Structure 1
């Protein structure tokens, strides 16, 4: 499967479910508009997308408020790793650099770096 160079941008819960259904490993950032830490994560996630075999998606639960409950989003940015559509790990500790995110992915998968 060819990976995109930029994170995917699902617009709502249906789009996100489609992403999770069509990719084996997906790192989803839940963010909100106006969140400075979330904005700072965007280039980091682009780097992670290019450096790993994980598909990266960014979704704003404010665009589909049901995402807050469905995915238990309590703060932003929240990174959730899904494998075969199921959550396997979560990172909700604010801004993370690319190295930290890749380390998080490596810890919770069988090694995703290329």
Structure 2
């Protein structure tokens, strides 16, 4: 299945994350924490990106799941991880990114998925 979502999807468990990235050919996942102002500021940006591209967007709060943090090498939040065919392809951990920066990150890794949302 390769439908894309028009709003970011909250993923509460590692199993939900795994199912999400397997279900979508291209997906972008934001790793965040509660109370992180930069993470909160990213939410509307990611909503706009979800509506304007064919890339499914998920949101994961790893809380104190150290295995999940280690698996994706999360060292700071917000961290964006781009997946293609279930595999992590690229990571950005540069703090707040505007919509144009997120789209440019996606275009660099999946130009067809960005164009499909036009």
What interval of TM-score do these two structures reach, taking the shorter chain for normalisation?
Answer: over 0.9
Please report the TM-score for the alignment, with normalisation by the length of structure 2.
0.91
Q: What SS is found at the alignment partner of 2:45?
A: helix
Partner of residue 19, structure 2: 18
Q: How does 1:53-68 map to 2 (within 5 A)?
A: 53-62=54-63, 64-68=65-69
TM-score (norm 1): 0.94
Deviations 1:6-37 (A, max 9, x none): 10111011100000111100100000000000
Partner of 1:37: 38
**Corresponding residue for residue 77 of structure 1:** 78
Q: Any conservation in 1 of the 2:14–2:68 contact (CA below 8 Å)?
A: yes
* Root-mean-square deviation (Å): 1.3
2 CA distance for matches of 1:52 and 1:44? 12
**Secondary structure of 1:9's match?**
strand
Q: Within 5 A, what are the aligned runs for 1:92-111?
A: 92-111=93-112
What is the CA-CA distance between 1:64 and the residue it aligns to? 3.6
- Contact conserved, 1:13 with 1:66, CA < 8 A, in 2? no
The answer to whether 1:4 aligns with 2:5 is yes
Q: Secondary structure at the match of 1:4?
A: coil
Unaligned runs of 5+ in 1: none
Kept after mapping to 1: 8 A contact 2:26/2:83: yes
Q: What is the aligned residue count?
A: 114
